[in-house]
Chain A
Amino acid sequence: MALPVRYSFRNALVRWRSTLATVLGIALVVFVFVLLQSLAAGIEKSSGNTGDPRNILVVRKGATAESASLISRENFRQIQYFEEIARTERGEPIISADVLVLINLPRRNNGGEANVLLRGVTPRGMELRPQVTLVAGRWFTPGKREVVVSAKLARRFANFDLGESFKSGTAQLTVVGWLDGGGSAFDSECWLDADEARAIFERDMYSSFLIRPKDEVAGTNLIARIENDRRFKLKAEKEVEYYRKQTMTAAPIKWLGGFLAVMMSVGAVFAAMNTMYAAVGARTREIGTLRVLGFRRRAVVVALLIEGGFLAFLGGVLGCALAFYWNGYTTATLGFETFSEIVFQFRVTPLLVIEGLVFAVIVGVIGTLLPAVRASRLPVIVALKSV
């Protein structure tokens, strides 16, 4: 067994040009596959990494996102006194009624315009979201038309540097700080005072409530109570659950990744086949010799499959390495649920790497199968006679 394998290895080196082309071809297929899937993984991860497991988020039933949700002030008055809600030392319920507004703003370098999610947040709401930290400047002062923008958005939008200002609606908003969401969905938001946001954008209604229940049991009860109360058409769920489900944007990217991988792998299989047929063709006599020496057909097939599989594996490793170069790179696109710019990072997860490698080996083995079988089927005498 060892001899055919070592022989295969040396052979691959001799035919280095076509070997290299095959390896690179497979590497590119794996690269495209892993890259696109890592994009989808990044969206899911940023969304799945958002929220505090203790918090409960309430939005209007039927709304796909907080930004498309409207809740009346009456509902707020009714819900805030529910005894399931935890209270501060001063006896105030820990509930934050936020307002979300989409604002259309120009990108940097004349890159067109895009929607940005502006969250009108209460001091309580800031406490309930400890993931968000200030990385530059200071927090906004209510009533002064000040806003704190995500540092990641600041790199993409014009007038988002500290001290700069932009106009939206009737107000001129000044950027006084940059926030960091720690890789969560809050990285795609800008914050200002809730009451101020409602005044500027003429919102009578709220968008969502974020609630801290007394404990786990109270939380479950609260969800049931809000859902079952006929007065409300509201949906309550754990904050983390809500965000985990905000992954519609990832679906078409995943689909595209899968489609491209399948299509490109057809080309890669043919390329691998070509290389392996040539390799087998050029070694017909040597394969015959191996057979004369007593190696079985099976051994020949296995050796060739290992050769093909190993080459493909190398391609897979290279492809993953290429994709890994993008790991953590920040990019953004239009979020389907929020209808605003969502920022996320390419995430090459271990699972994706394994998938990519398995995929590569499958391509290699399929490509080698026919040439290998052909080689093993050659009658020994004919093989030996061939030049």
Chain B
Amino acid sequence: MDTVNVQDLSVNDLAWVIDYHADLCVLCGACVASCSFQAISFVSTQKLLPKQTAKSRNKGNQKIVVKQSADPTKLCCGCGICEKVCPSRAIRPIANTHSREHCLNQSQGPKRRGGRGNLAKKRTLDAIFVGRISQMTDPPLDAERHTFDLRAPLGRVLAADKLPLEVSGQSLRLKASHPPVAWIYPLIFSDMSIGALSTRAWEAIAIATAYLNEECGLPVRMCSGEGGVPQNLLTSDKLAYMILQIASGHFGWNRILRALPKMRTDPAGVLIKIGQGAKPGDGGWLAASKVSRHIQAIRGVPQTTLHSPPNHQGLYSIEESVQKMHLSLNQAFGFRVPVAIKCAASSTSVAVYNNLLRDPYQICGGFFLDGLDGGTGAANTVALNHTGHPITSKLRDCYKAATAQGLQGQIPLWVGGGIGMHGDAAADAFKLICLGANGVFVGRMLLELLGCVGNAYGRCNQCHTGKCPTGLCTQDLRLVQRLDVDRGAENIVNFVLNFDQELRKLLAPVGNSSLPVGRSDALISNDWAIAQSLDIAFAC
């Protein structure tokens, strides 16, 4: 038996403690076999004794038990796979309220993790209610039986008097081209790259997207994220549902460009990613452990840790980003495909939006704002927990800035970052739309629908390690096989169908059959400061 010092780690120092009941355990081995973190293993009680003592004891007393490791490279993350597979409820992880984890293991550099920020628990949206109901004032609608027009623009919408129309005989005719606008479902599956996600997870989302379009009539779009796009998709008709992303790493873009002549259809759009709400100002980071051979093939990179810089090299101002990035990507697809831009919400977002609105080229097809409750596959914990800007007031400020200039609706506002994190994605979306959004995007939520067990209370969040126990955020084929693509996609489809019905349930009482963009009179807040800040009615 080794000497134990006070600085040595023990299980009770850790964030998660395995609650194990040897009396219930049937020694089937499922928990230890399925733990991708090697946080638990079988040990013989005999071998825990000093050798001399062990020899003198009766061997018949030997017991095999499951033991948790306190090795910092094999920490339990609370994922609960052991509990899932245990046939006798003999084992489960418990969050340790006495954890000393924050002061341990400092030799490994600053902590990283995936998931959402943990510190922002109280959300503005939860203090807002749909308080303006049609009660004798105007007819409400029947959510289940009336027909609704739930479509949102992606693309630069010209003011009516700026449309290049001329009268030709009895009809109107276009005399010049105008920016492309697609009217799509107000829910975009947001950008998570191949690499951050496993091939199966990414494909499940792509399948759900195509299914929603083809079998359910909902024009939902998915954004590729920047991790390359499979050749099989680039040359397929299904590309029409995909918004291609270009971020600062430009990963995979040479292969997208080489596929251009072979494309049978245009993609749904292009999204230029400047930043991400979960870790604003931080670039993408993909650990070498996740850059497996097929990821190297899809991204066109060697096996190494992949960093995306925090900014696009060569863009030094808003004007330049419009002129260079928007123009390049517009021309890449013949000015037929809407090109939008995504930024992390920031104190400066309104200035950026104003600048885009003044863009003389009319080639900015959307402003995507990502708030601090968004998720990520890998971030420095300090960034995840302490940087970012809540989405709600920032969206409101942008919308009001546009309204003050009479330019609202011309550059669609899409917002994300924590949509649905408290369970009511449709309510979140509806409130944000009433505050001025055209639509919303969800990313992390899709992972949860696919089976992710992580949460904002510190469970799992090991997306950055390549050991994702659900096969979602790993390239380890042993883990990826755990993900049932069909069931995962089915869950996403069901979620969207429910979202659709719930959105109608909220539209009906305010009497709107189309999206109530900017109808802030429909909202009230029971928080005075929030009501003041968002310019909505206070109610108590």
A binds B: no
